[in-house]
Homo-oligomer: A and B are copies of this chain.
Amino acid sequence: MMSTTIIEVAAEAGVSTATVSRVLSQPERVAETTRRRVLEVVDALGYRPNVAARSLRTLRAAKILLTVPDISNPFFASVIRGAEEAARDAGYAVVVGDTRHDPEVEDQYAEMLSRREVDGLIFLGHRLPDSLTPLLERKGNAAPIVNGCEYSPELGVPSVHIDNAAASSDAVEHLIALNHRDIGIITGPPISPISRDRLAGAMRAAERHGVADRLQVRVGDYSACSAFVQASALIERGVTAIFCFNDEMALGAISAASQAGLSCPDQISIVGFDDLPFAPYFQPALTSVAQPKGLIGRRAVELLVGILRGVDPPDRQVTLEHKLVVRNSTGPAPLG
Binding site for B on A (CB under 8 A): 3, 46, 48-53, 55-56, 61, 71-74, 77-78, 80-81, 84, 93, 95-98, 100, 111-112, 114-117, 134, 224-225, 228, 248, 251-252, 254-255, 258, 277-278, 280-283, 285
Contacts and interface: CB of A to CB of B under 8 A. Distances in A.
Given A74-B72, A100-B81, A251-B282, A48 B111 contact: yes
Given A71-B80, A98-B84, A224-B277, A115 B255 contact: no
Given A71-B71, A71-B80, A80-B98, A115 B50 contact: yes
Given A80-B98, A96-B96, A224-B281, A48 B114 contact: yes
Contacts of A224: 277-278, 280-281
Contact of A277 (B72, B78, B81, B228): B72
A53 B97 CA distance: 23
Contacts of A114: 48
Contacts of A255: 280-283, 285
19 contacts: A49-B115, A50-B56, A52-B53, A52-B61, A52-B116, A71-B96, A72-B77, A72-B78, A73-B74, A77-B98, A224-B278, A251-B278, A252-B278, A252-B281, A254-B281, A255-B282, A255-B285, A282-B282, A282-B283
Contact of A95 (B3, B71, B95): B95
A81 B71 contact: yes
A249 to B, nearest CB: 10
A-B pairs, top 6 by smallest CB distance, nearest first, are A72-B77, A52-B56, A283-B283, A96-B96, A52-B55, A224-B281
A100 B84 CA distance: 11
- How many copies of the shown chain assemble into the complex? 2
A286 B119 CA distance: 44
Given A52-B53, A93-B112, 13 more contacts: A50-B56, A52-B52, A52-B61, A52-B116, A71-B71, A71-B80, A71-B81, A80-B98, A81-B98, A248-B278, A252-B278, A252-B281, A254-B283
A189 B330 CA distance: 35
A323 to B, nearest CB: 20
A82 B28 CA distance: 46
A332 B282 CA distance: 23
A289 to B, nearest CB: 19
A48 B194 CA distance: 33
Interface centre among A3, A52, A116 (most CB of B within 10 A): A52
A251 B52 CA distance: 46
Contacts of A93: 112
Nearest to A56: B52
A50 B95 contact: no
